[in-house]
Amino acid sequence: MKLHNVYFSPKGTTKLCADCIADSLDLERSDYDWLTAKEPEKTEIPSEDVLLFSMPIYGGYIPKLCAERTAVLKGSRTPAIITAVYGNRHYDNALIQMKELLEKQGFVVIAAGAFLAEHSIFPAVAAGRPDESDKAAMENFAQTCRGLLAKREQWENREIELPGNPDYDASAFKGVPFKPDGDETCTGCGACVSVCPRGAISRENPRVTDETLCISCGACIRICPEKARDYHGEAYQMAGKGFAEKCAAYRNPETFYII
Ligand SMILES: Cc1cc2nc3c(=O)[nH]c(=O)nc-3n(C[C@H](O)[C@H](O)[C@H](O)COP(=O)(O)O)c2cc1C
Ligand code: SF4
Ligand code: SF4
């Protein structure tokens, strides 16, 4: 049995969670990084293998470009483990959205986890997460998944129940108004231009962001060696304060299984 580890992680926390779960699953493994693979190739995953599908949550859904990219994955009643990584507000309908998208592609979702991570736009929210207790929860999750994978006959004809509104509308999320741009310390190295999954940064002047394309993912902020890029402005500062107050309570990871 081989593990196919698919993730999109502009700020790195989703990859951290995916790695923690994948390491604990301890299977032969292929990684598919959907941030660096600008046009992911069609991937057929046989029924004896397993898909680990880990996504950051944007507005209660998975990023639109990732939802569209699920079309490249093809299963044959292949087991899938799904992971929603979110910044301490909520994951809303993301788990049922992932289930629906992957079922359409021939997968059977056998387990789902919602795990906490530092908020990628407002890093004061859920700062330092995933923490040691989150990592222990992910390791336990992986151990339970190992047990499920060994007992295919017990879940073959079952369906997992997940929280969320089945009448969800993923197109309702129109993005956030905060878009990073560069400051005068930019050296023009171009690293942000290459990493941007939306082609939103001008190669001629990387300080400039096309706000109509940018999805606020933060990959450019993370990669910049000069720390020249960030979200700016009074509206951003104000929103950050209110948001941190609203999302101050410590949320715990949640896990769901097919049996
Ligand atoms: C555009 C955008 C929208 C977000 N919406 C939510 C949300 O609805 N709920 C939430 O709890 N966190 C939200 N977050 C925070 C991310 O889900 C969270 O920080 C995640 O860990 C980012 O993953 P990464 O580090 O792999 O990029 C949002 C982040 C971005 C960039
Ligand atoms: S990564 Fe930073 S320094 Fe390099 S071009 Fe982008 S903003 Fe400028
Ligand atoms: S410009 Fe926007 S879309 Fe591109 S990497 Fe930066 S935050 Fe992400």
Domain ranges of the chain: 2-165+250-257, 181-230
Q: How crowded is residue 259: how many other Cβ atoms within 10 Å of its Cβ? A: 11
Using 50, 70 and 90 to split pLDDT, how confident is the model at 84?
A: very high
Q: Give the tokens for residue 92.
A: 């809303």
Mean pLDDT in residue range 90-96: 98
What residues are in contact with ligand 2 under a 6 Å CB criterion?
182, 186-192, 206, 223-224, 226, 228-229
Secondary structure E strands in the chain: 2-7, 28-33, 43-45, 50-56, 73-75, 78-86, 107-116, 181-182, 229-230, 254-257
Using 50, 70 and 90 to split pLDDT, how confident is the model at 237?
A: very high
Using 50, 70 and 90 to split pLDDT, how confident is the model at 136?
A: very high
Termini Cα distance of the chain:
21
Rounded to whole angstroms, the Cα distance separating 119 from 110 reads 27
Q: How crowded is residue 146: how many other Cβ atoms within 10 Å of its Cβ? A: 15
Scan for tokens 């049922």, then name that residue: 96
pTM over 0.85: yes
Task: Tell which atom from ligand 3 comes closest to the C-alpha of 219.
Answer: 5
Burial class (CB in 10 A: 0-12, 13-18, 19+), 222: middle
Ligand 2 mean position to 232 CA, how many Å? 16
Flag whether pLDDT at 148 surpasses 90.
yes
Task: Tell which atom from ligand 3 comes closest to the C-alpha of 215.
Answer: 3
The percentage of residues in the chain with a pLDDT greater than 70, rounded to a whole number, is 100
pLDDT recorded at residue 39: 84
Q: In sequence order, what are the residues at sequence separation of 6 or more whose Cβ sits closer than 8 angstroms to the Cβ of residue 130?
A: 13, 16, 17, 20, 115, 116, 117, 138
Minimal-distance CA residue to ligand 2 atom 1: 224
Mean pLDDT in residue range 221-226: 98
Instruction: Indicate the residue type of 126.
Output: A
Q: Give the tokens for residue 72.
A: 């490249």
Q: In sequence order, what are the residues at sequence separation of 6 or more whose Cβ sits closer than 8 angstroms to the Cβ of residue 216?
A: 121, 175, 176, 178, 179, 180, 231
Q: Please report which ligand is nearest the Cα atom of 197.
A: 3
Rounded to whole angstroms, the Cα distance separating 214 from 236 reads 16
What residues are in contact with ligand 1 under a 6 Å CB criterion?
9-14, 56-60, 85-90, 117-121, 176, 216-218
pLDDT recorded at residue 40: 84
CATH 3.30.70.20 fits 181-230, yes or no: yes
Ligand 2 mean position to 179 CA, how many Å? 15
Scan for tokens 């609203």, then name that residue: 246
pLDDT recorded at residue 195: 98
Flag whether pLDDT at 38 surpasses 90.
no
The percentage of residues in the chain with a pLDDT greater than 90, rounded to a whole number, is 98
pLDDT recorded at residue 77: 96
Ligand 1 mean position to 184 CA, how many Å? 27
Please state which CATH class domain 2-165+250-257 belongs to.
alpha beta
Q: Give the tokens for residue 133.
A: 């207790």
Mean pLDDT in residue range 131-154: 97
